[in-house]
Amino acid sequence: MVRKDKITLLLTAQEYTRILELKYMIGAILKELPSNMQLYNTERDLLEDANLLRDYDITSKTALPHNPAQFIVVVKNAEGFFGSFDIMPYSTPEPLPPEPDSSGDESLPNEMSLM
């Protein structure tokens, strides 16, 4: 999973994928050149282009579908400098309404009744 500002990208890559290849995948979506991007892990360590994902301990055992590896992409701004880590937090959903008690009353409220 790659995050940038309000954007979250879900990509599939193997543990032997180079960071540069990952940048090409991201660049194709964001319309950016790989040379204009820097990738960081969640600890904000810069990932080197020549290294493999497994060099950063990102393997099929550590990056799972329900807990994917996360990266932050930073893109050069108009002045030619790399921007900041402006990652928008995910929104918090409204709490679910309480479940009806199971006291045996099977009737539904009027707004939820079936016709």
Model confidence pLDDT, tens digit, residues 31-80 = 999 999 999 988 889 999 999 999 999 998 988 888 888 888 888 888 88
* pLDDT of 105 over the 80 cut: no
* pTM assigned to the model: 0.69
DSSP letter, residue 76: B
The arrangement of secondary structure in 2-75, i.e. its CATH architecture, is Roll (3.10)
- Asked whether 37 and 27 are in contact (CB, 8 A), the reply is yes
Predicted local distance difference test score (pLDDT) of residue 46: 92
- Asked whether 57 and 51 are in contact (CB, 8 A), the reply is no
Predicted local distance difference test score (pLDDT) of residue 17: 94
Tokens 């939820």 identify what position? 112
Buried b / exposed e along 8-46 (16+ C-beta atoms within 10 A)? eeeeebebebbbebbbebbbeebebebeebbbbeeeeee
* pLDDT of 7 over the 80 cut: no
Predicted local distance difference test score (pLDDT) of residue 23: 94
Q: Give domain limits for the chain.
A: 2-75
Return the structure tokens found at 33. 């050149």
Give the three-class secondary structure for 21: helix
Q: List 40's β-bridge partners, or say none.
A: 46, 72
Average of per-residue pLDDT across 25-31:
92
